[in-house]
Amino acid sequence: MTKLHYLNIIFLLLFSYQFSFGCTIFTSSSSDAVFAGNNEDMCSTNTMIHIIPPSENKYGRILWGFAYDENYQGGMNEYGLFFDGAGLPHIKMPTRSLPEYDGAFVMEGVLENCKTVEEAIAYLKNYNLSFLAYCHILIADSTGDAAIMEWGNGKVNFVRKGDKSYLIATNVNQSVLNNYSSKYSRFAIASKILKEQPPSLQTFEQVLSHTRQEGKYCTVYSNICDLKSVKMYLYNFHDFSINKEFDLKEEFKKGEQKRMIRSYFSPSFTENNFRMRYDCFSSHAETPNKKVTFKILCEKIVPSDTIILRGSAAELGRWNKEGVQLDKVSDNLYTIDVEMKENALFDFELVLNDRNYFPFKKDGNRLREIDVEIKSDTTIVVNVFDWKKLE
């Protein structure tokens, strides 16, 4: 695990907000059912699903995480082996003499090569797991076995179910704080439901719903995995009224697939509003930049030499007063080039230094905010017929 862009963001947020948000991962089993689930809490909806069919040397798998981040947050393979990770406050780890995993992320290697939790543990013991300084990983399999891998008390620990039928990982290191029991925590809420109800899709939806986060650092996607039938149910932006079912055996027949999570669902006002106002993925260096050219064509002379572009994107000032000043090419043309992240969704408006004037279209209606989503290098042309004062 050589790069930890989103994990580092999670760590900083946890440090600042003292566990007010974070991921919730859990598994539960009975004699005839084994489920695992996850709420992914983050400040970005730039999220992906990646399905990779089995090959001669690697098991088929479905992975989920963030676009352009080289480490997936979680996944499940064709044998029902599941993992997902949650950020932790930093804990010191000594230098260990084991080799680093030769690949993107060792947990992807686990899904490619292992069928059970015991096989996964044996596989992981061959590598230096330095990322455990910032997170822990819950692993579960179709037999009902499960373990949380984390660093504590000078060693790698594998926390097991014990006499319980379930296992939960939030953002608390259980090897260090094994008496963490706030009755208002996500851990306690999930524990109560899983203790009282058998594993099922409905039970797990209830846990996800009751532990979801809202606000600026919210639950951006959720999933429930039926480890025996090897199916995954995907939910977008803490909406549990609808899911997308993935039957891995059927999905593998379609070949390798890689899609944004939002592409499986109808557009959501709440998600789009979040993307415009709060999405932090513009700070992720690996997301490609796209050139966005704004051209403002004015049919009549502008009352002021200065047109300001204001908008919800970070590159446009997040609606601050200053915005971005366009370059005057002529009396009728103002333009500017802005580098923006791929998949950015934002709205913007035009204003003058003299804020008593507003842009109007030829039909006499005021030109208000304009919504744009960036998929590639883009030129945005805005036609302004006139600038008028509002009485």
CA distance 282 to 26: 30
In the prediction, which pLDDT does 304 show? Answer: 82
In the prediction, which pLDDT does 283 show? Answer: 66
Over range 58-65, report the average pLDDT. Answer: 97
220 within 8 A of 42, measured Cβ to Cβ: yes
Three-class SS state of 28:
strand
Q: Which candidate, 74, 70, 73, places its Cα nearest to that of 2?
A: 70
Percentage of residues in the chain having pLDDT higher than 70 = 93
For the cut 50, the answer to whether the pLDDT of residue 21 exceeds it is no
CA distance 203 to 355: 55
Over range 342-370, report the average pLDDT. Answer: 91
For the stretch 240-256, pLDDT in tens is: 999 999 999 999 999 99
CA distance 121 to 110: 9
Structural domain 288-389, CATH architecture: Sandwich (2.60)
For the cut 90, the answer to whether the pLDDT of residue 85 exceeds it is yes
- pTM for the model stands at 0.89
- CB environment 292-309: b (16+ within 10 A), e (fewer): bebebebeeebeeeebbb
Please, what is the average pLDDT of the chain? 90
Listed by start position, the domains of the chain span 5-281, 288-389
In the prediction, which pLDDT does 354 show? Answer: 74
* Residue 100 or 69, more confident: 100
CA distance 100 to 287: 25
CATH class of the domain comprising 5-281: alpha beta
For the cut 90, the answer to whether the pLDDT of residue 18 exceeds it is no
